[in-house]
Amino acid sequence: MSVEGVMVSYDYSEDDEVANILTVSASGIMFSHRWVLTHGSILSPLQQAQVISNAKRRPILNDEFYANLPEIYVTCEKRSDGSAYDSVEKLSRERSDGLTDLDHSSYHVRVLTGRIVHAWQCGVLDRCVDAIMFSWTIGHRDGDVRAQTQLGKALLSVFVLVDLESGRASAVPLRPLSELFDMVKPAPARGSEVLVHSTPFGNEVFLNTVTKGCVCGAVGTRPSLLLTDCASSLGSEGGPVYSDAPESSLVGMVVCSVSWWRGEWVGLTLAAPLRTVLAHKLSVPAAAPQRAPQPPRIAAILDLIDACTVLVRCGNAWGAGVYVGGGHVLTCAHVVKDHTSEKVSVYWQGVKETAMVRYSSRDGRAYDVALAYVDPRHYAGIKAAEFSHKPPEKGELVLAAGYPYFSDSSVPQLRPTVTRGHLSNVSPSMLQTTCCVQSGFSGGPIFRLTTDGAAVVGMIVSNARTHSGATHPYVNMAAPAAALLRPLADYMRDRDQSKISQLGNMDEMIQQQWRLLPYRSKI
């Protein structure tokens, strides 16, 4: 497949002074040795970006728009072309100390030049942004955050085509986009492993940096947007996303690496499934295949997770919960903090029912746990979670499940977002994980993988936060299942309220740990 990740850049200055020239860059996908597809974020400092924003899904067809765009530089890995220069270069290296492999690709790049010949806004993705990301902050840099966010949202669904051989604009570039469509595979299903190739920070030292993760969820039935826990940074927009199994295939493009929502960093990378984007552009019939099947083991694990992970809502607050059987749902106390004045609802696979809170620990006290009850007869197919009785181990692979991006319109297709990480620290009263966790994961389960599928080892409680309130999505704490199981089992056996109150551990050392305070030795 003649597709590779590249860095796309150009020189820009607002006042034409040489000293103030900046390099604007993004990642991109070069295909068929001539064309480069990149993301609309690269246009953000240009006046043409406002033209696209105002066009609102209408095509940009006038020649003046393209004539005033800057020359584009495309940086990619260098390949030998058999020229005389290759032999001179080889001789020069032979005279070096020989201690470093100077022939390695990381020391050599080639820079090609081209012109932007087409830019368009994908209506499917733009509608998804309007519906799901209306309260998000995109990019979050210094300056006018509101203006940048509005422009960032407008450009998030924009794609840019660069021609490396022609400086003439093409109003209907169907041929190259059709070529790319033939190379693209359907979007991988939730839980599938993916790779992102990108050049973060616009520095060729990072050319085609590879990060690995999984598809945590998808928005839209086509789908319209993929959520992945692949790590990415500013400048990764436009980078290709590849499926990792059974063979490497191009499936998407990074469209957002850095964003804020509800005062938190969004740790997930957002990717557009290219088959959806190109099918919409080329008017391919909707009956075309749009989604790749899940590998059998991944599908089985996700079925287990889906069967016991519910969404819990109380007023304007929501989080996740673990169904433990008999109509009982384990969640966080802060999720149902206002249960005395607000209705508590439990959602599971399109069904919403009112719940009663049987127990909620005191505000700010470990383990921040609550137990709710809902009539299980309303949920056909819901299953009690299997809890692991084997002690968790530092470094082992775990999965986190929650509902970070819940909206009322998504209830019929509601499934938990699942992220992957490791147990970074383990104690009898706290588990720490590197799973990507946002608001909406609180009360959700942490699973370890077993030979039979997956079993719960803990319940997500919170992220680490800075003094300013910003959260670290990949540093989070969970209450160990072992600390909750005995009082939970005792209560469910005879409904003795005094036994369920033991879920609120009063040991001062444990309270200090959950306040993230240093231990004080009694010696």
Structural domain count of the chain: 2
Helix, strand, or coil (residue 200): helix
Least confident segment among 136-150, 287-301, 401-415, 436-450: 136-150
- Separation between Cα atoms, residue 128 and residue 124, nearest integer Å: 6
pLDDT band at residue 142 under the 50/70/90 scheme: very low
Same domain, yes or no, for 264 and 326?
A: no
Least confident segment among 86-95, 215-224, 400-409: 86-95
Helix, strand, or coil (residue 499): helix
pTM of the predicted model as reported, rounded to 2 decimal places: 0.85
Same domain, yes or no, for 277 and 382?
A: no
pLDDT band at residue 350 under the 50/70/90 scheme: confident
Same domain, yes or no, for 237 and 337?
A: no
Same domain, yes or no, for 194 and 317?
A: no
pLDDT band at residue 306 under the 50/70/90 scheme: very high
Query: Which of 35-45 are b and which e, b meaning 16 or more Cβ less than 10 Å from the residue's Cβ?
Result: bbbbbbbbbbe
Same domain, yes or no, for 340 and 204?
A: no
For the chain, how far is it from start to end, CA to CA, in angstroms? 66
Residue 27: which CATH number?
2.40.10.120
Q: How far is CA 402 from the centre of its chain?
A: 13
Residue 407 corresponds to which tokens in the numbers above? 């909206």
Asked if residue 338 lies in contact with residue 312, where contact means CB atoms within 8 angstroms, the answer is no
Same domain, yes or no, for 64 and 184?
A: yes
Domain endpoint, select from 282, 317, 339 = 282
Residue 445, domain member (yes or no): yes
Same domain, yes or no, for 220 and 325?
A: no
Cis status, amide bond into 223, omega within 30 of 0 = yes
- Separation between Cα atoms, residue 511 and residue 516, nearest integer Å: 9
> pLDDT, tens digit, for every residue of 418-461?
999 999 999 999 999 999 998 899 999 999 999 888 999 999 99
Residue 293, domain member (yes or no): no
Same domain, yes or no, for 458 and 430?
A: yes
Cβ-in-10-Å burial (0-12, 13-18, 19+) of 221 comes to exposed
- Residue, of 311 and 223, whose pLDDT is higher: 311
Same domain, yes or no, for 477 and 357?
A: yes
Domain endpoint, select from 282, 314, 338 = 282
- Separation between Cα atoms, residue 388 and residue 450, nearest integer Å: 9
Least confident segment among 22-31, 342-351, 442-451, 487-496: 487-496
Same domain, yes or no, for 339 and 254?
A: no
- Separation between Cα atoms, residue 50 and residue 148, nearest integer Å: 11
Same domain, yes or no, for 123 and 270?
A: yes
- Separation between Cα atoms, residue 488 and residue 331, nearest integer Å: 12
Same domain, yes or no, for 207 and 332?
A: no
User: What is the percent of the chain with per-residue pLDDT over 70, rounded to a whole number?
Assistant: 84
- Residue, of 167 and 157, whose pLDDT is higher: 157
Residue 521, domain member (yes or no): no
Contacts 24+ apart (CB under 8 A), 360-364: 360/333, 360/336, 361/333, 361/503, 361/504, 362/333, 362/504, 363/333, 363/334, 363/337, 364/515
- Residue, of 121 and 18, whose pLDDT is higher: 121
Domain endpoint, select from 282, 310, 328 = 282
- Residue, of 14 and 512, whose pLDDT is higher: 512
Q: Which residues are CB-neighbours of 243 under 8 A, at least 6 positions away?
A: 185, 188, 192, 193, 194, 195, 249, 251, 292
Residue 520, domain member (yes or no): no
* Angle in degrees, CA 116, 280, 277, rounded to 5: 60
Range of the domain at 502: 301-514
Residue 295, domain member (yes or no): no
Residue 209, domain member (yes or no): yes
Residue 364, domain member (yes or no): yes
